[in-house]
Structure 1
Amino acid sequence: MKSEKIKVVLCGAAGRMGCTVIDCFHAAEDVEVRYGIEKKGHPEVGSALEGVPIVSDISSAMEDADCLVDFSSPAFTDKLVKMSDERGKPLVIGTTNLSGETLGLIENVSERIGIVLSPNMSPAMNVLFRIVPDVARALEKGFDVSIVETHHRWKKDSPSGTARKLMRILKDAGSKDPQVRSLRMGEIIGEHVLTFAGEGETLKIAHCAQSRGAFASGALLAVRFVVKANPGLYDMFDVLRLR
């Protein structure tokens, strides 16, 4: 007997990341994107992308959803978290540049529903997050540290959410404050280079996303995880069992 598919509502569906998520989820046998959400007045509202209806009324769309996935904007994420709380719907959040107020709201709401929050859902990038503390502690003395992140010219937040997470990881590991540089060029999906430069030697750790599919595949894993999870605030370390 075929198991029922996980029904997903995708916020920010008509964006570059949203379209990639739709393609990725369509290829999965256990997940179905029921609706895509865009703000009222968006040119795609009322149409369909890869067979997914694009609507602006999230309240109706989420009625029979098993999970919501958010790649929208910080302002919309705040609203979405409150609505997910009211409806008891688990949530996967990939939107970056969230305010301290929104992060506090997410932490509070996660006491009642499962939430996976990550600025970068790429599995390989999260392995990089996992190893950086060990490197930072080993090279604590005598090494200067830098982060150079490069993205497409349309990316609004700077530094990227991934770079900010690397900064927090380095701080927690006792590393000196890194020099951070943000570049916005062409159509580059995302590159992050972490450099430890000492006397006579340099260590570079780099992650390059060749397509948005890397993030979409991570979001798919997060959906499968969060629909079975207890209430709580999770990240990709939990999803990938990296703890």
Structure 2
Amino acid sequence: MIRVVIVGCAGRMGCEIKRLLSQQSDIEVVGGVEAPGHPQIGAPLGSGTIVTELSACLTSVDVVVDFSNPVTVVKNVNLCAEGGTSFITGVTGFSAEQLRTIRDAGRKIPVVWAPNFARGIAVLSRIAMQAAQLLGDEYDIHLIEIHHKKKKDAPSGTARQLTEELQVVTGRTEIPVVSIRTGDVIGEHQIIFGGAGERLELIHKAESRSTFAAGVLAAIRWIIKQPAGFYSMTDIINF
């Protein structure tokens, strides 16, 4: 049985993850964490309760799944590194220093960070890198990302990751990104390769957060078998 604690358990992603994990025979949710003052503090979650600090529910935990915020993630990954607990997060909007801290934790424990847990995004990335290499410098590259109007960071973490990967492959110093925040769009990423007389467009649309939750489930089952390291969805899918 894999024992899991969910940080940010009452948020959009936290609720999707709770729902999916509760249906698994090999996973036990042993507690959750939410911000002080949240109305669900003290409520039951799995075999435990919802508390305000991860340290209060880390006993005999195999994996911490954190969908809170950058500051909380940094604090929690350090706590997990001290105790030897595997750590998974999909939070975005980190500063360079915060991301270095998370990477450094991977020297002590297995850490999975994925701005997007959808399997299709990992495939989109692989195809886009191949397209960039095949099309060459004669093609312009642009990225458009669309999310719901409550999303705080722009560009999205997924867009940042895709543009960084494209920069490495192409040697370009910048890949232009257009960010749109509107309605309740869960997530859409479009990579455009524009050449003379033609245009190639690669699009991924997330229609439900259950897609991301399924990726988190795969990450939970995968991470408990791994040594210390800093991993991504590409590692989990194992292209």
TM score, norm. by length of structure 2: 0.95
Q: Which residue of 2 aligns with 1:128?
A: 124
Is the contact made by 2:219 and 2:236 (CA closer than 8 Å) also made in structure 1? yes
Letter in 2 for 1:131: I
Is the contact made by 2:31 and 2:46 (CA closer than 8 Å) also made in structure 1? no
Is the contact made by 1:140 and 1:175 (CA closer than 8 Å) also made in structure 2? no
Answering whether residue 110 of structure 2 is matched by residue 114 of structure 1, we say: yes
Q: Which residue of 1 aligns with 2:147?
A: 151
Answering whether residue 71 of structure 2 is matched by residue 72 of structure 1, we say: no
Letter in 1 for 2:148: H
Deviation per CA, 1:216-243: give whole Å up to 9, x if none: 100111111111101111111111112x
Aligned match for 1:187, one of 176, 180, 184: 184
SS in 2 for 1:27: coil
Rounded Cα–Cα distance in structure 2 between residues aligned with 1:9 and 1:49: 9
Q: Which residue of 2 aligns with 1:231?
A: 228
Aligned match for 1:92, one of 85, 88, 95: 88
Rounded Cα–Cα distance in structure 1 between residues aligned with 2:50 and 2:148: 25
Is the contact made by 2:81 and 2:109 (CA closer than 8 Å) also made in structure 1? yes
User: Can you give the 5+ residue segments of structure 1 that lack an aligned partner in the other structure?
Assistant: none
Q: Which residue of 1 aligns with 2:202?
A: 205
Rounded Cα–Cα distance in structure 1 between residues aligned with 2:150 and 2:63: 28
Answering whether residue 10 of structure 2 is matched by residue 14 of structure 1, we say: yes
Letter in 2 for 1:142: E
Answering whether residue 235 of structure 2 is matched by residue 241 of structure 1, we say: no
Deviation per CA, 1:128-181: give whole Å up to 9, x if none: 112221111112222111111111111000000000001101101115432211
Letter in 2 for 1:53: T
Letter in 2 for 1:202: R
Is the contact made by 1:6 and 1:66 (CA closer than 8 Å) also made in structure 2? yes
Deviation per CA, 1:22-64: give whole Å up to 9, x if none: 1111122211211111111122212246886321131121112
Rounded Cα–Cα distance in structure 2 between residues aligned with 1:49 and 1:59: 16
Is the contact made by 1:132 and 1:169 (CA closer than 8 Å) also made in structure 2? no
Is the contact made by 1:115 and 1:234 (CA closer than 8 Å) also made in structure 2? yes
Letter in 1 for 2:23: A
User: Can you give the 5+ residue segments of structure 2 that lack an aligned partner in the other structure?
Assistant: none
Q: Which residue of 2 aligns with 1:165?
A: 161
SS in 1 for 2:143: strand
SS in 2 for 1:42: coil
Letter in 2 for 1:172: V
TM score, norm. by length of structure 1: 0.94
Q: Which residue of 2 aligns with 1:34?
A: 30
Name the Cα RMSD after superposition.
1.4
My pick for the range that moved more, 39-48 or 62-71, is 39-48
Report the identity percentage. 39
Aligned match for 1:60, one of 53, 56, 59: 56
